[in-house]
Amino acid sequence: MTRKIKLLIVDDEERFLRTLAQRLTLRDFDVTPVGNGAQAVEIAREQAFDLAIVDLKMPGIGGEKVLELLKKQDPHIEVVILTGHGTIDSAVECTKLGSYHYLQKPCETEELLDVLKNAYWRRVQSKLRVDEDKLSALLDSATHESPLSILRKLRTLEESGKPPEK
Amino acid sequence: MLDNVSSRVPAPGGATVQAGPPADAPGRTDFGRLRSKLRWQLLVAYVTPLLLLAAYFHYAYVDMMQESIRRHLVSVAENQRNTVDLFLRERVSGVRRALYSGMLTFPPGPGVMDRLLEEMRTASRTFVDVGLFSPDGKLVAYAGPETSLVGRDYSSQAWFTRIRQEPHDSVISDVYLGFRGKPHFIVAVRQSTDHAGWVLRASVDPESFAEFVASSYLLADAEAFIVNVAGQRQTLRDAGAVASEPVDPGSRTAETVASESTTGGTDYLRVVAWLTENEWALVVQVPRDRAYAPIAQTRLIVTAIVLVALLVIVGVVLRSTRKLVAQLEAAIAAQESLRHQLFNAAKLASVGEMAAGVAHEINNPLAIIYEEASMMTDTLDPELGGKPDLEDFKERLDAIRDAVKRGRTITSKLLAFARRHDPDPEPSDLNLLVSRVLMVKEHEYSLANIEIAREFAPDLPRVMVNRNLLDQVVLNLLNNAHDAIVARGCRGRLSLRTTRREDGATLEIGDNGCGMTPEVMAKIFFPFFTTKGVGKGTGLGLSISHGIIESFGGRIDVRSRVDEGSTFTIFLPAAPADASAGGTAEKDGRRGGAEVAT
C-alpha cells in the first residue's frame, strides 16, 4: 500500500480548518489540522510533513513566521499559503521565504488540489535528486565493501532518507 | 482588560503638539463686516493724524497771526498817540508863545488880538479863535468868528476853574458846546510872570483835529478817535455825533492795551493808548472780522486742502480695502476648495484602506461556506466513498448560515460606516461612536496581538459631531496607532479613554508604538506629510482629521516620545442643552449595541 501524502494545515478559522481537513482526508491525504502557528511548528519538529497549507493572519505567530520556521526545520517541505486577503507585498515576502504558492480564500478545490499536486511533484523531484546524490556517494564510498554490506546500507537509506554510519 | 494605561505615555518631558483652530477664516457673510471694519480702521489711522496736524498748525498759526495783528495795531496806536501828543503840545506851546510874545498888552489895544490870531494861524490853521481873559474870568479881548462872546464871564466854566487851581499853567478841555453852542475844545495858558492870572485861550477846530487823529492809521478799516475819561468821543469823522455810544477806555495806564470788545453789536479789536498831554485816550479799533480777515482766508484754504486730502484718503481706502478683501475672499475660496478636495481624497484613501481590511473579514466566511458546501457535495460523491448523513448535513448547513451571518454583519457595519448623508453635526454619544469604529478594527488588532484597554466615562455629555466624519477621524487614529505598534514590533497596547470635561468631552487614543520625534510631530498635521513608506500612507489622514475636529469646534493634541508611544487627545464641545437628542442617533445607538451583542 502506498504511503499517504502527509499534509499539515494551519488556520485559526476552526470551522474552515476542520472541513478542509475532512475533505482532503477524503482525497487520501494524511491531514494534521492545527489551530495556531506555535503548535504547527511544534508538531512539525516531531514528525516530517510533505506539504503544509498555512494561513497568514493568525493570532500569535503569524503565517510568514510559521513558513520560515517550517522551511528551516525541513527544507524539502513545500508550503502553500492560503489567506483571506492577499497583498502583493505579503505574496512577495512569502515567495522570498520559500513558499511554493500563494492562494486566496475562498479557493476552488480543483485549484487547491492542482497546487498541492504540483507542490508534491516538486518535493519528490528535489528529494529524489538529493537521494540520488546520496546513493552515488554511498556507492563511491563502498566500492571495496561486500555486496551484502552495500545492500544493507541501501535499505537503511531508503527507509530513513539518511546514509548509514560507516 | 487593562487598567488605565494613559500613564505609560510620559507627560513630563514628553513633547506635545497642539493643533488648535487657526485664525478665524471668515465666512462669506463676514467679508462685508471685515471690509467695513478694515475701512474704519484705515480711515481712523489715516485721518486722525491729518486732522490733528491740521488742527495743531491751524491753532498755532491763528495764535501767531492774532498776536502779530494785535502787535501791529498796538504799534500803530502808539505811533498815533505820540503824534496826537505832539499835536497837542504844539497847540499849547503856540498859545504860550502868543501869550508871552511882546505883541500882547494887558489889556490889549484894538487890532492886537486879530494880529495875534493871524500870527497863530500862520503856525497852525487849526486855531479857530483866540481870547484873553482877565484873572477874574472875564473875556476881555477876542479875535475870531464869535465876537459876541466878548465880555462874558467864564469864571464858573470848568476849564477856567481848572486852570486857576492847577499847578500847571495850561489846560486842554474836553470837547464841549460852551457859550457858542458849537462843539470845540480849547487850549488855555495862564500868565504866571509879570501879568500873573491873565489867561490866553485858543479854541481848536474839532473837525480838523478829528481829521488829524484819524489821518495816519495804516490798517484798512481801522478807526481812530479820542475819548475822555468817561469814554465820550472827542473826535468824530462825521461831525455832530458827540453823543454816539461811549467807549470805555478803562483806567489810565502807561501801557497800551489791546482787547476785544463789543460795541453797538459789532465785535472790535480795540487798542487804547492814553495820551500824556491830556486825560484823553486814543482808541484804534478794527471790526474783529476785518482785523482777522487774513486768518479766515488761511483757514478757508487749510480747510479746502484737508477736505481734498480726506476725499483722496477715503477714495484710496475704499478702493484698496475692496481690492484687498476681494483678494482675500478669492484666496479663502481657493483654500476652501483645496481643503474640500483634500478631504475627498482622504475619504477615498480611507475607503481603500478599509476595503483591504474588509476583504479579509469577508473572504474567511466565504471560504467556510465554500468548504462546507463542497464537503456536502463530497459526501454525495460515491467515488470519494462518502455516505450522506442528514445530521452531518444539518450541522454543515448551520455552519454555512453562521458564516453568511458573519459576512452580513461585516457588510452592514461597513455600510453604516460608509454612509455619507447627514452632513450636519448632531448631538451624539461619543462612547458609542468610538465602540462602533473599534468593532471594525478589533479583529485586525487581535491578529496583530494588540491589547485594547477601554476606559469610557459613563456620564459623558453628548457632543456635537457629524458621526461619519468622527468615525473617519477615529479610524484614522486607530490605523496610525496600529502602524506605530507594528513598526516598533513590541507587544502592542492600545488605550482608548473618554473623559468628561466641563464644556464637552475628550477622547484619548494612546499606543505604545514607535512614537515620534518633536520634528516629525511638528509636521504631522500638514497635508501630504507621512512617515509611512511609499504607497502606504497618503499623508492626508491627520490633516483631514484636524480639519474635521476643527469644524466641530474641537481641538486635537498629540503627545509623543520616541520608542514609548503617542497619545492623541481630541476635545469635542458638548451639544447645547436645547439641541434635540437626535432620534437617528438613538436608533443607531441601539442597532450598534445589537451588533456588539452578535
Q: Are residues B284 and B141 in the same domain?
A: yes
Bigger pLDDT: B348 vs B186: B186
Distances (CA, A) of B36 to B14, B323, B469: 45, 13, 36
Nearest CA in chain A to B445: A59
Residue A166 placed within a domain: no
User: Which CATH number does the domain housing residue A37 bear?
Assistant: 3.40.50.2300
Domain count along chain B = 2
Q: Smallest Cβ distance to A57: which of B370, B384, B447?
A: B447
Same domain as A91, residue A148 = no
Nearest to A16 among B371, B378, B384 (CB): B371
Q: Is B142 helix (H, G, I), strand (E, B) or coil?
A: strand
Residues A37 and A75 in one domain: yes
Residue B236 lies in a domain: yes
Is the bond leading into B107 cis (omega within 30 degrees of zero)?
A: yes
In a domain, B42, yes or no: no
Residues of chain B contacting A107 with CB distance shorter than 8 Å: 367, 370
**Quick check: A52 and A79 in contact, CB under 8 A?**
yes
If you measure CA to CA, which chain A residue comes closest to B370?
A: A106
**Side-chain-side CA neighbours of residue B267 (13 Å):** 6
* pLDDT reading at B572 higher than 90: yes
How far is B581 from chain A, CA to nearest CA, in Å? 40
Q: How many CB atoms lie within 10 A of CB B572?
A: 28
Chain B CB within 8 Å of residue A57 CB: yes
- Tens of pLDDT along A42-66? 999 999 999 999 999 888 888 999 9
Decide if B497 is inside a domain. Answer: yes
A86 in the same domain as A64:
yes
Cell of B524: 504631522
A165 domain-assigned:
no
Which chain B residues touch A20 with a CB distance below 8 Å?
Answer: 371
The answer to whether A55 touches A83, Cβ cutoff 8 Å, is yes
Q: Is A75 in CB contact (< 8 Å) with chain B?
A: no
Residues A77 and A134 in one domain: no
Task: Give the DSSP per-residue string, B441-488.
Answer: HHHHHHHTTEEEEEEE-TTPPPEEE-HHHHHHHHHHHHHHHHHHHHHH
**C-alpha cell read off for B406:** 458573519
Number of CB pairs, chain A paired with chain B, less than 8 A apart: 65
pLDDT at residue B12 greater than cutoff 60: no
With respect to residue B557, please indicate whether it lies within any of the assigned structural domains: yes
- Alpha helix (H) ranges present in B245-292? 288-291
Give yes or no for a contact between B204 and B60, defined as CB atoms under 8 angstroms apart. no
**Chain A partners within 8 Å of B359 (Cβ):** 84-85
**Chain-chain contact of B372 with A19 (C-beta, under 8 angstroms):** yes
A residues 1-20 closer than 8 Å to B (CB): 13, 15-16, 19-20
Q: What percent of chain B has pLDDT over 90?
A: 20
CA gap B504, B511 in Å, rounded: 23
Q: What is the dihedral of CA B257, B260, B264, B265, to 10 degrees?
A: 180
A119 and A145 belong to one structural domain:
no
A70 and A145 housed in the same domain: no
What is the tens place of the pLDDT at every residue in B444-459?
888 888 899 999 999 8
pLDDT band at B347 (very low <50, low <70, confident <90, very high): low
Looking at the structure, tell me whether residues A106 and A147 fall in a common domain. no
What pLDDT, on a 0 to 100 scale, did the predictor assign at position A163? 58
Q: Which residues of B touch A25 (CB under 8 A)?
A: none
Between the CA of residue A104 and those of A68, A82, A88, what are the distances in Å? 19, 5, 12
CB of A55 within 8 A of CB of B447?
no
Structural domain span for residue A150: 128-160
Answer whether A85 sits within 8 Å of B360, measured CB to CB: yes
User: Shortest CB distance from B374 goes to which of A23, A60, A85?
Assistant: A23
Give the pLDDT score at B496: 94
Residue B367 lies in a domain: no
Q: Where is pLDDT greater, at B430 or B540?
A: B430
Interchain pair B360, A19: CB under 8 A: no
Asked if residue B373 lies in contact with residue B400, where contact means CB atoms within 8 angstroms, the answer is yes
Q: Which residues of A touch B400 (CB under 8 A)?
A: none
- Whether A120 is in a domain gets the answer yes
User: Which pLDDT value is given to residue B583?
Assistant: 41
Residue B356 covered by a domain: no
Judge whether B494 lies within some domain: yes
- Same domain? For A12 and A47 the reply is yes
Global ipTM: 0.80
Residue A65 within any structural domain of the chain:
yes
Based on the fold, state whether residues A39 and A102 are members of the same structural domain.
yes
Q: How confident is the model at residue B181 (pLDDT cuts 50, 70, 90)?
A: confident
Residue A58 C-alpha cell reads as 493568525
Inspect the interface and report whether the beta carbons of B366 and A23 lie closer than 8 Å: no
pLDDT attached to residue B254: 78
Looking at per-residue pLDDT, the higher value among B530 and B279 belongs to: B279
Same structural domain, A27 and A82: yes
Find the closest chain B residue to A36 by CA distance. Answer: B447
Work out the pLDDT band at B416, boundaries 50, 70, 90: low
Contact B598, B437 (CB under 8 A): no
Is the model's pLDDT at B527 over the cut of 70? no
A71 and A12, same structural domain?
yes
Confidence of residue B356 (pLDDT cuts 50, 70, 90): low
- Write out the residue range of the structural domain in which residue B465 sits: 423-598
Last residue of a domain, one of B291, B319, B341: B291
Residue A122 lies in a domain: yes
Our count of domains for chain A comes to 2
A106 to B403: CB separation less than 8 angstroms, yes or no: no
- Provide the CATH number for the domain around residue B197: 3.30.450.20
Domain annotation covers residue B578: yes
Confidence of residue B530 (pLDDT cuts 50, 70, 90): confident
Residue B493 has pLDDT above 60, yes or no: yes
Q: Are residues A13 and A65 in the same domain?
A: yes
CATH number of the domain within which B477 lies: 3.30.565.10
Report whether pLDDT(A99) > 90: yes
Q: Among the three residues B252, B274, B291, which one is the final residue of a domain in this structure?
A: B291
Note whether B554 and B382 are within 8 A (CB). Answer: no
> Which residue among A23, A106, A107 sits closest to B378, beta carbon to beta carbon?
A23
pLDDT given for residue B587 in this prediction: 40
Cβ–Cβ below 8 Å for B371 and A27: no
DSSP string, B316-367: HHHHHHHHHHHHHHHHHHHHHHHHHHHHHHHHHHHHHHHHHHHHHHHHHHHH
Q: Given a cut of 50, is residue B593 above it in pLDDT?
A: no
Name every residue in B having a CB less than 8 A away from some CB of A. 356-357, 359-361, 363-364, 366-372, 374-375, 378, 384-386, 396, 399, 402-403, 446-447, 449
- Which residues of B are less than 8 Å from A55 in CB distance? none
A107 and B449 in contact by Cβ < 8 A?
no
From the CB of residue B84, how many other CB atoms can be counted at a distance below 10 Å?
Answer: 24
The yes-or-no verdict on residue A1 having pLDDT over 60 is no
Instruction: Say whether pLDDT at B20 is over 60.
Output: no
Check residue B537 and give its pLDDT.
59
Residue of B366, B374, B399 with shortest CB distance to A15: B399
The residue among B291, B319, B347 that closes a domain is B291
